[in-house]
Structure 1
Amino acid sequence: MIITASEIRSDTYHFFSKQMGAIFFISFFITFVSILTDMFIKPDMHIISVIENKKFINAHSLLDLINNMNLEEKNELLKYSIFKIIELLLSKTLLLGSMITLISNLSNSKKESIISSISSLFTFLPNLFLLNFLTTFLIQLGFMFFIIPGILLSIILSLAPIIFSFKKHNLIESIRFSMSISWKYIKIIGSGVLLWMCNKFIATTILSNIYFINKNIMFLILNMSVNILYSLLIIYLFRFYMIFLRSPNLNII
């Protein structure tokens, strides 16, 4: 069976158009959770005043900014960074889990009830969070050295949550199989991941530079846009893996 990117894009568009309401609801819900997290579970926000003053603007790099801080400010920056990383990982995990549960439920001939779907989602989330942590850590390591390794790792690790959702492999096996499959089909997987990266960069750049709209509304619109774009990528990857599983050439697994 030949897998083509155009076929998967067509399937992705068809699924998105039919389930647009559910996808928008999930994206809005995740954005709402992020806003609540920002509002009520903030660390000591003294660091925000440090970041917003001219030290950040005049710094040539993040290292310059850190070197200009005293010990207390460095501790606050560390707390703030850990908080934001956990918040982003939680949001990504919740979005991933919700979309995978939605697609899986619609793909099965025997559909689960809403209660059983929610129950399976929350059972799935802790391990999915750990998987997201591992893959995000590896990808960020790649970006720390050079841009290209980070992009490459983003591509070859992108299938790991989808593979893991089928509950046939553990965390490490899912990562290993994702690397093997994505490398073999790098043109198909890479085109989807790179398109998502470019669209996310464009949306973030444009929306972040709009100043005539209230910043809270812009935060909502930006997060909604990013979540919808990521949902499209999840659908694309899930559809690819379903076609791959039906392929007679499964010796890679």
Structure 2
Amino acid sequence: MSFTAASLYRDTGNFFRHQFVTIVLIALLTSFITVLIGHALTPDISGLADGNSGSMSLMEWIRTMTPEQQQQLLHASAAGTLASLVGNTLLLGAMLCLIPMVTAGERVSALRAMGASAPMLLRLLPLVFFMTLIIQLGFMALMVPGIIFAIILSLSPMIMTAEKVGIFAAMRASTRLVWGHVKVVAPAILGWLLAKVLVLLMASSLTVLPANVTSVLLNALSNLVSALLIIYLSRLYMLLR
């Protein structure tokens, strides 16, 4: 079947428009869960900053801490990472259930989509973890490897859930499949990364709101961007199959 990126964008936009309320609710629910987990697991680190910390670099600031303070900061970082990992997995699972159910003509609520995703979450969680780890390592080494990893691994969740294969088999299959259609995958991934950066930049304009409210709203907006990408990639994989 022949297709173009433009036709995929139209399909994605039509699906998003018709399921807008459901997708927004999924984004808000997963955002709320992410913030709730992060708040529950993160220790209070407000006392770690002092009057001179603002003039120091991050590494210098960490070196001035006591071992107990460094452990507390590591705990907070791990809690935030875990909360983000769980939230991303919940969003991915709900969207991967919503798309085929709606395509089959069913009326699906946000709670039903999230409930239907429960059996696949334990399989998706390690996949999301390994994908995030590989992509983050790529960004730490150089930005270009991180972008390349994000592109070639992008179809892994769709392959794993549709073909019932393992994590690394899904990653290998995604790499092979994406290389043959990189022209329709790469622009979507680059647009997604740019939108994520713009969402982060918006944080400075929401300082008038309480911190938890700001976190929920920004996470929800970020989830909406990710939901658009999941719809696009899912539609692409349906066509490729």
Partner of residue 213, structure 2: 217
216-225 vs 113-122, which deviates more?
113-122
Which amino acid in the other structure matches residue 11 of structure 1? Answer: D
Distance (whole Å) between structure 2 residues aligned to residue 244 and residue 6 of structure 1 = 16
Q: Is the 8 A contact 2:38 2:79 kept in 1?
A: no
How far off its partner does 1:120 sit? 4.3
Does 2:173 match 1:177? yes
Kept in 2, the 8 Å contact 1:3–1:244? The answer is no
Aligned to 1:126: 122
Q: Distance in 2 between matches of 1:197 and 1:116?
A: 29
> C-alpha distance in 2, partners of 1:42/1:224?
20
Between the two proteins, the alignment pairs up a number of residues equal to: 240
Matches within 5 A, 1:72-87: 72-87=68-83
**C-alpha contact (below 8 Å) 1:101/1:117 kept by paired residues:** yes
Matched, 1:58 2:55: yes
Report what 2:197 is aligned to.
Answer: 201
Counterpart of 2:47?
49
TM-score by length of 1: 0.87
Give, in angstroms, the shift of residue 203 of structure 1.
2.2
* TM-score after normalising by structure 2: 0.91
Does the 8 A contact of 1:203 with 1:225 survive in 2? yes
* Consecutive unaligned residues in structure 2, runs of 5 or more: none
**Two-structure CA RMSD over aligned residues (Å):** 2.2
Aligned-pair identity in percent equals 30
Amino acid at match of 1:35: V
Corresponding residue for residue 3 of structure 2: 3
Look up the match of 1:160: 156
* Alpha-carbon offset, residue 162 of structure 1: 1.3
Residue among 92, 97, 109 paired with 2:93? 97
SS of 2:41's partner is: coil
How many Å separate the matches in 1 of 2:42 and 2:114? 30
Q: Does 1:141 align with 2:137?
A: yes
| Counterpart contact for 2:155–2:174, Cα < 8 Å | yes
- 1:174-197 deviation line (CA, Å, top 9, x unaligned): 111111112222221110011111
Deviation at 1:204, TM superposition (A): 1.8
Counterpart residue number, 1:27: 27
1:162/1:238 contact within 8 Å kept: yes
CA–CA separation in structure 1 for the residues paired with 2:52 and 2:179:
43
Conservation of the 8 A alpha-carbon contact between 2:151 and 2:189: yes
